[in-house]
Amino acid sequence: TGCTLHLVEPLGFSMDDRLLRRAGLDYHEYAEVRRHASWQALQGTEAPPPERMFALTTRGTRVVHDVAFAEGDWLVFGSETRGLDPALRETFAPTQRLRLPMREGQRSLNLSNAVAVTVFEAWRQLGFR
């Protein structure tokens, strides 16, 4: 998709090549991956425009498919087990808190599937360029 993956520490997994391969992430040599010591470090280094950052959360007020994505948008996902930290989630305007549609009573998608669905929706909207 051409996305850059930004990882914010502390990570809940090892970046050791052997362990990544075992987890099925052996395509990482095709991706640009940047690690940041903290959320503040990411914001200081990358300076993403706040109005084009979207937090993915089960508590989102908008469905992903209702957003008109633009080139350069940032998608922010939390950890696999806990999601976004509530304090961080609250820094996003309600219109920038997105969710994936789920059937009533169903669990949310796992992190990798949620990322894939969301990134491909944004990429589709941009004409796969």
Within 13 Å, how many C-alpha atoms sit on residue 45's CB side? Answer: 12
Would you give the distance in Å from CA 119 to the centre of its chain? Answer: 8
Instruction: Go through the domains of the chain in sequence order and give each one's CATH number.
Output: 1-47 (no CATH), 48-129 (3.40.1280.10)
Task: Give the pTM.
Answer: 0.88
Parallel, antiparallel, or unpaired for β 53-56 and 74-76?
parallel
**pLDDT per position as a tens digit, 36-95:** 999 999 999 999 999 999 999 999 999 999 999 999 999 999 998 899 999 999 999 999
**Dist. CA 53–CA 77, nearest whole Å:** 11
Tokens of 89: 């989630």
The C-alpha atoms of residue 55 and residue 71 are separated, in whole angstroms, by 16
Distance CA 52, CA 69 (A): 9
pLDDT confidence of residue 29? 67
